Amino acid sequence: MSHYFTNDNNLVSETRKLIYKYSSFSFEFLSDNGVFSKKHIDFGSKLLLETYLNNENRPLKVLDVGCGYGFIGIVISVITNSYVDMIDINKRAIHLTKRNIKKYKSFNGNAYVSDAYSEIKNKYNVIITNPPIRVGKIKLLEILEGAFDHLEKDGVLYFVIRKDQGALSIKKILEEKHKVEIINKDKGYFIIKVNN
Ligand SMILES: C[S@@+](CC[C@H](N)C(=O)[O-])C[C@H]1O[C@@H](n2cnc3c(N)ncnc32)[C@H](O)[C@@H]1O
């Protein structure tokens, strides 16, 4: 069975355009078969992004982990003038992200294939992620707890997770070492902020 996070070269391409409006900005994203939420921008991703933008509007150095076609990272870079790197294990997602980046002259950053933080050498002020859930708890925690090896001393992790995906048990695990806050909730989705 093909999951959106697997690299499946046999999957036919069928690109679609998705529109996203925020304040006076209008964005257009190409999506395709084989990537997460190919037909519409995901509700949890939108809630995470908009909650982030309500909390942070300064230009920062940001890493978007599991970027898909680049929705979260591109919007953050354009709106907050931030430097944003975007990573995903899925080659097609990164190919789409690179095509989407080209539409925004003010975008500043890079996109590349990485299994969690395997290719990450830099440190960031912010790591933001709508993390993959179906990969299992071990990989999920590698992404969430691993963030702190790639954040500056005062860096912050923002992520979205649904209550029925184990939001509260993940929060509890992170609380063993960090200050964890639920900063927004909607339709069973929790937006969680974790301080380094
Ligand atoms: C829930 S989707 C979010 C996609 C995108 N950020 C969005 O909002 O539309 C999670 C993403 O994580 C990626 N992913 C899965 N396993 C990964 C891993 N080990 N390392 C990096 N990315 C991974 C998937 O390919 C997918 O694009």
What is the CB-side half-sphere exposure of residue 85 using CA atoms within 13 A? 20
- Dump pLDDT digits (tens) for 131-165: 999 899 999 999 999 999 999 999 999 999 999 99
How far apart are the CA of 23 and the centre of ligand 1, in A? 26
Strand partners, 27: 20
Residue from 3, 5, 32, 165 whose mutation best tests the ligand 1 pocket (most atoms within 8 A of CB): 5
Give the Cα separation of 192 and 178 in Å (integer). Answer: 12
Q: SS3 of 114, please?
A: coil
Angle at the Cα of 81 from the Cα atoms of 69 and 97, rounded to 5 degrees: 15
Instruction: Count the neighbouring beta carbons within 10 Å of the beta carbon of residue 136.
Output: 10
pLDDT digits (tens, 9 = 90+) for 47-80: 999 999 999 999 999 999 999 999 999 999 999 9
Interval between CA 181 and ligand 1 midpoint (Å): 23
Nearest ligand 1 atom, CA 48: 8
